[in-house]
Amino acid sequence: INYRYSSLAVLDKLGLNFGTGGAIPEYQDISFNVNFPQQKFGKINLFGIAGKSAINIDAVENEMQQGAYGDRGFDINFKTKAAILGATTTIKKTNNSSIIIALGISYTGTKSIQDSVSKMNNEKTLWYTGDFDQVKLNASFKYLKKINTFQTLLQGFSIENNLFSLNDKKLYDGTELRPIRNSKGSTALASGFVQWQLKRVKDFSISTGIHSQFFFLSNSLAIEPRANIKWSIKQNHSLY
């Protein structure tokens, strides 16, 4: 387990001045990685990370720095959050074949508020607000088979589901906040592949295969053949 935090934010709270006024990034995150060597469903790896950050930019301080920290004439408040959780398992079917399964979920979110600040009396007016969120769900399956000393076959498929919420507003004509984006929805992307590899036959390695993707939002399918040749000219020198 690993935990990090913003050392600048801590030092700022102790009264140290970095010359940036209140524009001090504040962040913290925590991560972990746990391995379970041999279980009923094979070798399992569980991992994750989560964190958040924030920064406030004062219009007056920004003006003194000639707009070094953001748009001049605005108080800016920006926050982000992110998290990832995943698991993989490797199942040995035989001495020459194995199955790799991976599952994951991730989240990202941002919130932004901008206030227009009058140069005459420092009066603040809400000018922009944004709230964006996205969640991704992933699953993949791979089958690896070692045909012989020189040949391996790898095939698999994956699917990713995206859920999103996009909402932001902006001040128009100085009187009314109007929506720019206001949408919620989801879509998915599925892909599959087959790859055959021939290793080190007279200093040559060959990889060939086919890769396909289907995007559900537009009902579009893409199929791509792929090939690669590696020539090992001498030790530590290769030509692709």
72 in Cβ contact with 64 (< 8 Å)? no
Higher pLDDT, 177 or 14: 177
Band the pLDDT of 66: cuts 50, 70, 90.
Answer: very low
Band the pLDDT of 24: cuts 50, 70, 90.
Answer: confident
CA–CA gap between residue 38 and residue 45 (Å, rounded): 10
pLDDT at 67 over 50: no
Identify the residue whose tokens are 């406030």. Answer: 56
**pLDDT confidence of residue 36:** 84
**pLDDT confidence of residue 160:** 96
User: What long-range pairs does 99-103 form, CB within 8 A, spacing at least 24?
Assistant: 99/42, 99/141, 99/142, 99/143, 99/144, 100/140, 100/141, 100/142, 100/143, 100/144, 100/156, 101/139, 101/140, 101/141, 101/142, 102/138, 102/139, 102/140, 103/138, 103/139
60 in Cβ contact with 73 (< 8 Å)? no
Q: Which tokens is 100 given?
A: 């790799």
**pLDDT confidence of residue 196:** 92
Class of residue 69 by CB neighbours under 10 A (exposed 0-12, middle 13-18, buried 19+): buried
Question: Could you read off the pLDDT of 169-228 as tens digits, one per residue?
Answer: 999 887 888 999 999 999 999 999 999 988 866 777 888 999 999 999 999 999 999 998
Q: Which sign does the torsion angle of CA 7, 10, 13, 15 carry?
A: negative
Average pLDDT over the chain reads: 85
Pick the closest to residue 194 from 228, 226, 151 (CA basis).
226
CA–CA gap between residue 97 and residue 212 (Å, rounded): 23
**pLDDT confidence of residue 225:** 94
**pLDDT confidence of residue 173:** 82
